[in-house]
Structure 1
């Protein structure tokens, strides 16, 4: 396609540029001087608003034949010709030919149309290839999310031109620059410098499903009230007991008092228990966080003891109650 653009530029003795539908330069060939807009378009790989507005002003996307646009000094644009690059009725881009001296003849216009048609074929083929590659990538990712799959990992490595020992991390919520995953997450290939991620440290690409599970569990733990130094699987600490607890383990089995507190009509006692226990029984700090007077807090603590038999300040079973409350909150949090 670049050869076709070079041939057109040589035939008409003018500079040619083909942009995609987002007005990003794809192919170009320069003959002599060019205007400032063309220079900035190629160097910055973007079209400035004043120049982009020309497309709307002259309805160039709707054109079916080359359109001549006059010089627009305020946009640093010389006179030029434009021909939409259209494939099966859909505009994929625009072909531009700078013509500041109005030297292009009527007889040369079909060459612009022919070049635009060649560009349409090339862009459509590239788009189909890209869409097929993305679909194949998504299929491989879906296989990996279902469980370890060395074959899928090897194929994905080849498809994405990754190093054979590529490792992966998952962010929840999704971050830019990664592969999109279900439930608002994204997968990222770990570079030479390790990054902190929701899923924790990097895992082999074949274990993408485990990385996604770790990220989802970490996000869920935070939603359940986990106090982490950073939102990462590696920072879960004792919450690992919660996220990895078997489904057969009930809150009551860990501590029946948690089930009693969760079942109260109001959640003030449960919240108080969570805060006091998370602060190691420190009443003053807990009262400040709860925004209640210490007298109110002592009343609640006594009430909690009456209901559960647990003393949150000195009781030997405080840890069991704390874990049970964590487990109840985790399981009540939407996945």
Structure 2
């Protein structure tokens, strides 16, 4: 493979690279004075950077059936390139790219690029690692799945050091190209694995990617949340800025055999991030009651899910001040001083407002069941608003 790439680069007098489908460098020729910052970074780090990868993929090169040209980007430090996917019996194995800094690649050169791609394809098939990555991802998916049988079979093949593990789930919203989604997720997860000081595993299925930080890499929650944010950024850069990417961080599990619990939590946390939209990354340990509400299908959260007491309070509270006061009071476990401090009001003002709430909806705020129902109702209303639905439609219809 390397000999073919070097010979072709010498023939053209241009820098040549062969990447995998996720635009990770596999083979590269020497420079011919046409290198750009993106190529230099890829040579040094084996990673061209998520924005450059996203730019290249946005050209549609992964779907090309014949050689073509990718324009350059001054903002990214990327010279123009000519290239074509490398296919074997319909499967895309990677792509060959030739730097075309001065735009002088000819049609004959494009034909040669196609010929060399055809020459490289069988070599890439023969050069594949015995342990196919698809099988490895399937094992990880089995370990993280809900069914005990496949989980036990996968665990028997995956030999991991004992100790705590933690799972991060990264998801795409609807509307992103499926092929691009898979590339973006694998790029983000592989980059995260390379940054990890310990071992990690990953798997991608559809619009969902999961990474398992094993015992040596299952660091503190704040560190993993920061890593999840980096994964979201990397995936969005590859897929395009308009892509909706969210991530959830599961709690630590005692070992790989219980990683499916952390994976389930991470998936629910990612659902919270998607449904609320306030933060693209949510940690299960900080989700609170939203971890319960996230299990309820979105379609089930309509006006009937909001306690009628809250609807009545909204009718008399046109300014929203009483609802805000009730929320602060419940958020602080019924502590008057703490709620007053959070609202920046005097305690006397707080107690006056609480009396107004009691009179308006006829509830006993000292009753634990009442507090729980109202508190859950406020969170349901939050979810409905985040999804563009009105929790109090009767009021707003007037």
CA contact (8 A) 1:17 1:95 kept: yes
Distance 1:293 1:61 in 2: 71
Distance 1:301 1:328 in 2: 17
Distance 2:16 2:117 in 1: 11
Which ranges of structure 2 fall in alignment gaps of 5 or more residues?
69-76, 100-107, 172-184, 190-201, 226-248, 297-305, 388-398
Deviations 1:21-46 (A, max 9, x none): 7876433566xx95362994644557
Q: Are residue 120 (structure 1) and residue 129 (structure 2) matched?
A: no
Q: Are residue 324 (structure 1) and residue 373 (structure 2) matched?
A: yes
Distance 1:221 1:44 in 2: 35
* Residues 1:308 and 1:205: Cα distance change in structure 2 (over 3 Å): farther
Distance 1:324 1:151 in 2: 41
Q: Which has the larger radius of gyration?
A: 1
1:154, CA displacement in angstroms? Answer: 1.6
CA contact (8 A) 1:23 1:94 kept: no
SS at match of 2:353: helix
* Residues 1:46 and 1:287: Cα distance change in structure 2 (over 3 Å): closer
TM-score by length of 2: 0.45
Distance 1:286 1:294 in 2: 8
Paired position in structure 2 for 1:94: 96
Deviations 1:120-176 (A, max 9, x none): 23346759x9684477357536x7145685424426x64xxx625475423466695
Distance 1:173 1:85 in 2: 27
CA contact (8 A) 1:95 1:116 kept: no
Q: Are residue 151 (structure 1) and residue 176 (structure 2) matched?
A: no
SS at match of 2:326: helix
Distance 2:4 2:274 in 1: 57
1:119, CA displacement in angstroms? Answer: 0.9
Q: Are residue 35 (structure 1) and residue 39 (structure 2) matched?
A: no
TM-score by length of 1: 0.51
Paired position in structure 2 for 1:261: 309
* Residues 1:149 and 1:132: Cα distance change in structure 2 (over 3 Å): closer
Paired position in structure 1 for 2:332: 279
* Residues 1:271 and 1:96: Cα distance change in structure 2 (over 3 Å): closer
Paired position in structure 1 for 2:167: 170
Root-mean-square deviation (Å)? 6.1
1:200, CA displacement in angstroms? Answer: 2.0
Distance 1:236 1:26 in 2: 41
Paired position in structure 2 for 1:194: 219
Higher RCO (C-alpha under 8 Å, 6+ residues apart):
2
1:309, CA displacement in angstroms? Answer: 4.8
Which ranges of structure 1 fall in alignment gaps of 5 or more residues?
65-74, 98-105, 248-257
Out of 350, 354, 359, the residue aligned to residue 301 of structure 1 is 354
Deviations 1:172-222 (A, max 9, x none): 666953545789774432334523163222343333432233345667889
Distance 1:206 1:271 in 2: 44
* Residues 1:203 and 1:179: Cα distance change in structure 2 (over 3 Å): farther
SS at match of 1:170: strand
